[in-house]
């Protein structure tokens, strides 16, 4: 049975979504101040490092917030980070009740925010629309609990499951509309990962198309966006297209054995060279993710090529897959599949994809789902 709280909590989730692509690795949060049935203030977390949703809503409500109820999709923070604790402001504004969807999994909060509010005479109610709130912030929850970015694999393939012909030709398997939509979707991620072979073969820019229709230009200009290249032997050319947009920083992961002389030639580029371990000539994915976590990169999209996608898949470090299927059949025993690795003998041991969503785009099909790795 629906409660009076659900209407406003649904609105907080809707508000929170406006921060997608801008607040990571922080959570997306929306807040509403209500007295009776009257909304006094609304807010959402707009940009990483900026004011939290509760602050925006309370400032809008002003003195009218005294005795009101604060609705918020995530537990208010109670510690000093890039901004002061939201709990302090909630108390100072005289809020009498806080209604929330879920606790914050961050160990610095995780129930402590609610406890502080209750100790200061504020009634706390929590648990409505929990699943919706968790789904909204699934990347944040992964970042906090697993101490690594949320990892999404993306590729485009033919109907028969091929990403390129035997010669490596893949332009274009999908329609222009699908490619345009994807360049806009990149905005939702903190970083995009490719291997050096993709850079050498396709020389991509890896840029996103900003969503001007819903996001203010001043916020887009503050967006954190990294182009990440796995390059064991540091073969990347200094004139590669990924260096041309200086608003995006390039992170290049190379082997710890790479000589400093190779690093020196890239010192004038807008990039950072990070040395990590290698195994049989391949960059160690777990070390890459550890470094990305330290850089506060909360969600990444892995676009290829086959070796890079396979590396993440074999490590079972994949939270979501996004597959565009074009209206083509490539055929051929030597044409390329998206994922290689070890052969599987028994069909009951293959990886299933759950929570599947499908959409048609012109003559293409978009499939999004979550892999169920067997532990």
Name the active-site residue from 6, 17, 54, 314: 54
Phi first, then psi, for residue 20 (nearest 5°) are -60, 130
- Return the C-alpha torsion angle 161, 165, 171, 172, nearest 10: -40
Rg of the chain, C-alpha, whole Å = 23
- Strand pairing report for 278-279 and 282-283: antiparallel
Give the residue ranges of DSSP H helices in 62-100. 86-92
54 is catalytic: yes
Instruction: Give the number of other Cβ atoms within 10 Å of residue 49's Cβ.
Output: 11
The SS3 call for residue 366 is strand
Q: How far apart are CA 298 and CA 306, in angstroms?
A: 23
Give the residue ranges of DSSP H helices in the chain. 4-16, 53-61, 86-92, 112-119, 130-136, 138-146, 176-185, 196-202, 217-220, 260-264, 285-294, 306-314
- Going by C-alpha positions, the residue among 354, 300, 369 that lies closest to residue 150 is 300
Q: How far apart are CA 114 and CA 103, in angstroms?
A: 8
Q: Which residues are catalytic, by number?
A: 54
């Amino acid at each position: 049975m629906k409660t009076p709280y659900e209407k406003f909590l649904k609105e907080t989730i809707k508000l929170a979504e406006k921060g997608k692509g801008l607040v990571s690795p922080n959570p997306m949060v929306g807040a509403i101040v209500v007295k009776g049935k009257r909304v006094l203030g609304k807010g959402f977390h707009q940009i990483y490092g900026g004011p939290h949703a509760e602050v925006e809503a309370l400032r809008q409500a002003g003195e009218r917030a005294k005795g009101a109820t604060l609705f918020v999709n995530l537990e208010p923070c109670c510690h000093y980070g890039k901004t002061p604790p939201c709990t302090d402001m909630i108390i100072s504004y005289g809020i009498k009740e806080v209604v929330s969807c879920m606790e914050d999994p961050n160990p610095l909060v995780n129930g402590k925010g609610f406890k502080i509010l209750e100790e200061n005479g504020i009634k706390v109610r929590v648990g409505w629309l929990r699943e919706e709130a968790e789904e909204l912030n699934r990347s944040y929850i992964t970042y906090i609990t697993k101490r690594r970015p949320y990892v999404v694999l993306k590729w485009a393939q033919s109907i028969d499951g091929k990403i390129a012909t035997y010669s490596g030709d893949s332009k274009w398997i999908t329609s222009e509309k699908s490619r345009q939509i994807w360049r806009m979707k990149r905005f939702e991620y903190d970083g995009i990962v490719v291997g050096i072979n993709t850079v050498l073969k396709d020389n991509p820019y890896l840029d996103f198309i900003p969503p001007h229709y819903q996001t203010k230009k001043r916020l887009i200009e503050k967006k954190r966006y990294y182009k990440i290249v796995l390059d064991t032997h540091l073969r990347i050319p200094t004139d590669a297209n990924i260096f041309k947009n200086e608003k995006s920083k390039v992170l290049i992961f190379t082997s710890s054995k790479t000589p400093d002389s190779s690093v020196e030639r890239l010192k004038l580029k807008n990039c950072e060279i990070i040395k990590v371990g290698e195994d049989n000539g391949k960059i160690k994915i777990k070390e890459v993710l550890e470094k990305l976590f330290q850089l506060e990169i909360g969600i990444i999209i892995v676009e290829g090529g086959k070796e890079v996608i396979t590396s993440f898949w074999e490590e079972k470090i994949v939270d979501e897959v996004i597959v565009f299927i074009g209206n083509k059949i490539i055929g051929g025993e030597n044409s390329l599949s998206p994922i290689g690795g070890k052969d599987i003998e028994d069909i009951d041991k293959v990886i299933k994809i759950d929570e599947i969503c499908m959409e048609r785009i012109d003559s293409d099909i978009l499939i999004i789902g979550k892999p169920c790795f067997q532990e």
